Amino acid sequence: MSDQTGNTIRPLRILLMGDASNFHRCLAQGLRRMGHDVTVASDGSRWMDTERDIDLSRRLPGKAGGLMLWLKIKGMLEQKLSGYDIVSVNSTSFAMLRPNRLRRLFDHLKANNRHVFISALGSDSRYVGICTGSNPPLRYDEWQVNGKPTAFARANKREIRQWLAPKLSSLCDHIYEHSEGAVTALYEYNEVCRQFVPGDKLAYGGIPVDTSAIEYIGTNPTGRKVRLFLGRHAARTLEKGTDRLLVAARRVVAAHPEACTLDIVENLPYAEYLKRLREADIVLDQLYSYTPATNALLAMAMGKTVVSGGEPEYYDFIGEHENRPIINAAPDDDDAIFAAIEDAVLNPNALADRGRKGRDFVIKHNDVDVVAGRFMDFWGGKL
């Protein structure tokens, strides 16, 4: 077995702790195709109920649920969470436990497995601290746009304080300081991690998509209305900017009711969500991202047009200078968001071509085998 540079790598035992939007579960598929023995331990991304080998669901709310999960995990430590060549944890909140218990779990993983890494898939204390600080490295993110707090930040001041409080921030520091490196899922995470992770301990992985398992459907709205589609997590509308995307989409439907319809889906299990996504023509993803995330990439793999993050900095970062199929949603101009969606609706003949380019883009940059190869190139260099 060889990595992408031709170096021979023996089959490894790999544990992926935690998950977000099916990331680790999909990554595991690519790693298994490379010949590795991979175990995913997660809560299934909660309501998404994604597949996992070890279930870490928290069955009850409050202290009782946390205690039950902790006792369950303690019973697994020696038999199921030890003896791996590689462990990668989902950011610094890789199980629904209190910070002190997460720290004890991480320390067990560190002491009883050969190598421990971070899969940087979401927010942590350092990310929030840098994005809400005085000199963020990004022009915008979910917390600020051009240095001004977003509606999400204004509505979640308590959450910011919690992320930055000693309990969570010290856990975050401990995990970064005692891991052997981090592989990032998004350009944004990579830019923030560059502020505190040494270059030799940081790599970009991207979001994996199993394109071989996703049928290319494309879009052909000739003779019917264009179908706008907005899928959202009810608790994350401000964070993702889907509140503003929804307002813009409704404006477009009101202005052109003869040309388009709007389908809104919320908190569906992963498998059911994919079925609904198949029926879309234009998928409205998120607003505060430079990068298309899982929802957009799945839609692009199906041949759909997406409104999402597609900034020049991201394309340049991944070395893509020709195929740039994403309709970029500018987070500082609601009229521009409306105009971008309206233009796509009023030019339905362009959707098929954009959809083909979108699938080509995902195959090139985010196919699960490509992403798994990036992870193994980085991990393998540390073995």
pTM recorded for the entire structure: 0.93
Q: What pLDDT, in 10s, does the model give residues 303-359? A: 999 999 999 999 999 999 999 999 998 898 999 999 999 999 999 999 999 999 999
pLDDT attached to residue 6: 56
Whether residue 69 contacts residue 29, with contact meaning beta carbons closer than 8 Å, is answered with no
Query: Over the Cα atoms of the chain, what is R_g?
Result: 21
Domains of the chain, first to last? 13-208+367-380 (3.40.50), 212-365 (3.40.50.2000)
- At residue 3 the predicted structure's pLDDT band, cuts being 50, 70 and 90, is low
CA dist 116 to 21, 179, 316, Å? 22, 5, 30
- At residue 233 the predicted structure's pLDDT band, cuts being 50, 70 and 90, is confident
pLDDT attached to residue 221: 73
Is pLDDT of 5 > 60?
A: no
Of the candidates 329, 331, 290, the residue with the CA atom closest to the CA atom of residue 311? 290
Q: What pLDDT, in 10s, does the model give residues 264-285? A: 998 788 888 889 999 999 999 9
Mean pLDDT of the chain: 93
pLDDT attached to residue 330: 84
pLDDT attached to residue 62: 86
Burial class of residue 149 (count of CB atoms within 10 Å of its CB; 0-12, 13-18, 19+): middle
Q: What pLDDT, in 10s, does the model give residues 150-183? A: 999 999 999 999 999 999 999 999 999 999 999 9
Q: What pLDDT, in 10s, does the model give residues 84-139? A: 999 999 999 999 999 999 999 999 999 999 999 999 998 999 999 999 999 999 99
SS3 116: strand
Reading the block at residue 358, the tokens are: 């979108």
pLDDT attached to residue 4: 52
Amino acid, single-letter form, for residue 141: D
pLDDT attached to residue 2: 54
- List, in order, residues 6 or more apart from 259 with CB less than 8 Å away: 225, 226, 345, 346, 348
Is pLDDT of 211 > 60?
A: yes
- List, in order, residues 6 or more apart from 216 with CB less than 8 Å away: 301, 302, 303, 359
SS3 140: strand
- Residue 306 phi, psi (nearest 5): -125, 145
Percent of the chain with pLDDT over 90: 86
